[in-house]
A and B are shown apart, each in its own frame.
Chain A
Amino acid sequence: MSNATKQPDVTIVGKKEHRSFRWLAYVFLIIMCLIQLLPFWLAICASSKPSDDLSSSLFLRFDFEWSNFATAITDGGILKAIVNSVIITLCSTIITCLVGAAAAYPLARRQTRGNKLVSPASWPS
């Protein structure tokens, strides 16, 4: 990182002089991405296996066990759960926006001592 004067951007990779550094950065980033994706891959693999399967969790099963998904829908009640999630998300977003906006207005407009007491933004913290 010696000759970065020409570039005012706050970048530490992206210059030709630092090939090896750039290479290292890619390796680090790709490893991080793989670590982040690994649990999702394992979940997909697990979904491909019947419950008595004892093979490694790292690999997919060749004959994909599609009935797992059917079980999740019929016995697991996943559709009901998704609907519940949607309802909770929608309602809590709407309530938060309405109540929050309504509360913010007087707190921002009328800076009386009582209002400052109510508003956490004005607390000394």
Chain B
Amino acid sequence: MSGKNAEPAAATKSWRDRFKGASVNLFYAPALIMLVLFSLYPLISGIGISLTSWDGFNPEKIFVGLSNYVTMLRDANFRMTLINTFIYGIGSTVIQQVLGLGLALLLNSKIRGRNLMRAIIYLPALVSAVIMGTMYYFIFQYDTGALNTILSALGLEKVVWFQNATTALIIILVVNSVQFVGTSMIIYLAGLQGLDQSVVEAASLDGASGWKMFWNITLPGLAPSFTTSVVLNLIGGLKLFDVIKVLTGGGPGYSTNSVSSYISIQYFDNQNAGYAAAMGVVLFIIIAVVTTVMNKGLDKLGWN
């Protein structure tokens, strides 16, 4: 790992020559140690725990092989949370791309107060998702919530927003997308400002305008920003946790849980640490595969 035996062996090089400057490699020792300690070790011990029937605090762990993974295949709740996870991941990615690109295009043009607007739209992304979720909860409360106040002012019935699984799912999805739409907007703004102005000018001299300009010049120029934004949003959506915990706690029933929040329920409420770890491993693999495929696919299309 330290690169000492890694250089191609050249017959003419002496032992001393070959390792010349290798001590520079020590510079990344701190980073490597931290990575191993805080990322690799938990990952591996998590895989280890997933093969046991540990309850979270018992000093003894009983090895049960792959039975946690078999349980997972039979668990209808896990299937549902997996589907929810993909709804959150794909849904919020789509919403954030559309809204973020729209906002970036509008706020890149000469419009009054655009700096203030950029700041305001990015504002919620600065606050931690738990706090933001609590604040959004004020909107959807039943008797004192902002939305229900508006509804009853208009003479309409008050709505119990988190009673229905579908509505609750959509609310979580929208809240997450709206909170982090600023990050997509910033990425697209940077992409727009990095567009090659000479290409834009050439295209406009050739008579491209409006939609044609947007479709043939602006959008292809934004491809790298698109890839970055999509991959970041996808990861963010697939591991969604805080907003669910704060807004619905996974309810009604288990119906709005993502895999992450279902893991926390299994670990802390049901004391199924082994099962929770197994689901964590599966979630890790899913996120890794999805983002790699996404990155590779966009790469192949030349969108990188």
A residues apposed to B, CB below 8 Å: 1-5, 7-14, 25-26, 28-29, 32-33, 35-40, 42-43, 45-46, 54-59, 98-100, 102-103, 105-107, 109-110, 112-115, 117-118, 125
For residue B255, CB closer than 8 A to chain A, the reply is no
Contact between chains at A114 and B2 (CB < 8 Å)? yes
The answer to whether A11 touches B110 (Cβ under 8 A) is yes
Residues of B bordering A, CB below 8 Å: 1-8, 21-22, 24-25, 27-28, 30-32, 34, 99, 102-103, 105-111, 117, 120-121, 123-124, 132, 135-136, 138-139, 141, 143-146, 149-150, 178, 182, 192, 195, 197, 200-201, 204, 207, 209-211, 213-214, 217-218, 292, 295-296
Residue of B nearest to A107 (CB): B28
Q: How many contacting A-B pairs (Cβ < 8 A)?
A: 157
Cβ contact of B32, chosen from A8, A28, A46, A118, cutoff 8 A: A118
Report the nearest B residue to A124, measured CB to CB. Answer: B296
Contact assessment for A114 and B295 in the assembled complex, using a CB-CB cutoff below 8 Å? no
Contact: B110 with A14, CB < 8 Å? Answer: yes
**CB-CB nearest in chain A for B296:** A125
Q: Which of B28, B34, B123 contacts A36 (CB 8 A)?
A: B123
Instruction: Give complex CA distance A113, B8 in Å.
Output: 8
Give 15 A-B pairs besides A12-B210, A57-B138, A105-B27 with Cβ atoms closer than 8 angstroms.
A5-B207, A12-B109, A25-B106, A36-B178, A36-B182, A40-B123, A45-B138, A57-B146, A106-B25, A106-B28, A110-B22, A110-B25, A114-B4, A115-B25, A125-B292
| A29 in contact with B124 given A102-B27, A114-B4 (CB within 8 Å) | no
Chain B hits for A37, CB < 8 A:
120, 123
Bound CA span A103–B2, Å: 12
Cβ-neighbour of A112 out of B3, B34, B123, B136 (below 8 A): B3
Chain A residue contacts of B7, Cβ below 8 A: 112-113
A106–B146 Cα distance when bound, in Å, is 55
Chain B residues, Cβ within 8 Å of A38: 139, 146
Q: Which residues of B contact A107 (CB under 8 A)?
A: 28
A100 to chain B, nearest CB (A): 7
**B139 proximity list for chain A (CB < 8 A):** 38-39, 42, 57
**Are A112 and B121 in contact (CB-based, < 8 A)?**
no
Residues of A within 8 A of B27 (CB): 102-103, 105-106
